Amino acid sequence: MLEVSKLKVAYGGINAVKGIDFAVEAGEMVTLIGANGAGKTTTLKALTGLARPAGGSVRYDGADITSLPVHARVALGMALVPEGRGVFPRLTVDENLDLGAYCRRDARAVRADHDRIYDLFPRLSERRAQAAGTLSGGEQQMLAIGRAMMSGPRLLLLDEPSMGLAPLMVLKIFETIRAIAAGGVTILLIEQNAKLALEVCDRGYVMESGEITLSGDAPALLANPRVRHAYLGE
């Protein structure tokens, strides 16, 4: 579904992403792990069109989308849950979800998806008329995921969904991510909690200083001494 080849991203004279290659097959859950500053978020921005690559290509369903604008990628079935959630604080929960569907014209299906999001996150249903900025961090993360799902994605990109959340809320969020994947949505996950990410995903890539240094099946990476020392504190 997603094929990244020799991707480079630079900010001024700084090479944040240095010619990386990776792929995500349809139906997979794949994680990209690494320390702060490794280039993970920059990679997601390049995949979604929020950052312009300095080189390389991004292919989605076999088509080159490297130069495609952001909204066109959303229309093709890509959606991003950004780091820090990025909810619209003065708008209600309902209005935030409506904005997730801005590319869609199938009003009846949009209403049905609204109901599905509230089934997935009953807490949001209780707060549908509440301003998003007054929600807890966990509720805002639920809303960010729900808003992305309102676009009807086939590929969901998640950037640090556990950041700043209490342990019980982290478990709830990851249960939801697994449920979304079980529903047929392909997942690319960036997550600093490497153990949790590798436990829920099929495969993983390790990113260090703008380069992919390790890759493999998630259980193999979880057992790798280098990964355990660098990311699991062992």
pLDDT band at 12 (very low <50, low <70, confident <90, very high): confident
Q: What is residue 130's predicted lDDT score, i.e. its pLDDT?
A: 96
Q: Are 83 and 57 in contact (CB under 8 A)?
A: no
Q: Indicate the burial class of 103 (C-beta count within 10 angstroms; 0-12, 13-18, 19 or more).
A: middle
For 222, the enclosing helix (H) or strand (E) is helix 218-223
Q: What are phi and psi of 26, to 5 degrees?
A: -60, 135
Q: Are 92 and 131 in contact (CB under 8 A)?
A: yes
Q: What is residue 21's predicted lDDT score, i.e. its pLDDT?
A: 97
CATH number attached to the domain at 2-83+154-231? 3.40.50.300
The sign of the dihedral angle between the CA atoms of 146, 135, 96, 166 is negative
Over the stretch 220-231, which tens digit does the pLDDT of each residue have?
A: 999 999 998 888
Mean pLDDT of 128-138: 95
Over the stretch 21-69, which tens digit does the pLDDT of each residue have?
A: 999 999 999 999 998 888 999 999 999 999 999 999 999 999 999 999 9
Mean pLDDT of the residues in the chain: 93
Over the stretch 192-231, which tens digit does the pLDDT of each residue have?
A: 888 999 999 999 999 999 999 999 999 999 999 999 888 8
Output DSSP code: residue 234. Answer: -
Over the stretch 136-149, which tens digit does the pLDDT of each residue have?
A: 999 999 999 999 99
In DSSP terms, which residues pair with 160 in a beta bridge?
none
Q: pTM of this prediction?
A: 0.93
Mean pLDDT of 165-174: 90
Q: Are 98 and 135 in contact (CB under 8 A)?
A: no
Over the stretch 71-91, which tens digit does the pLDDT of each residue have?
A: 999 999 999 999 988 999 999
Instruction: Supply the DSSP string of 141-193, one letter for each residue.
Output: HHHHHHHHHTT--SEEEEE-TTTT--HHHHHHHHHHHHHHHHTT-EEEEE-S-
- Provide the residue type at 51 as one letter: A
Nearest one of 227, 233, 165 to 31, comparing CA atoms = 227
Is the pLDDT at 234 greater than 70? The verdict is no
Sketch the domain layout of the chain as residue ranges: 2-83+154-231
Q: What is residue 134's predicted lDDT score, i.e. its pLDDT?
A: 96
CA-to-CA distance for 6 and 57, rounded, in angstroms?
7
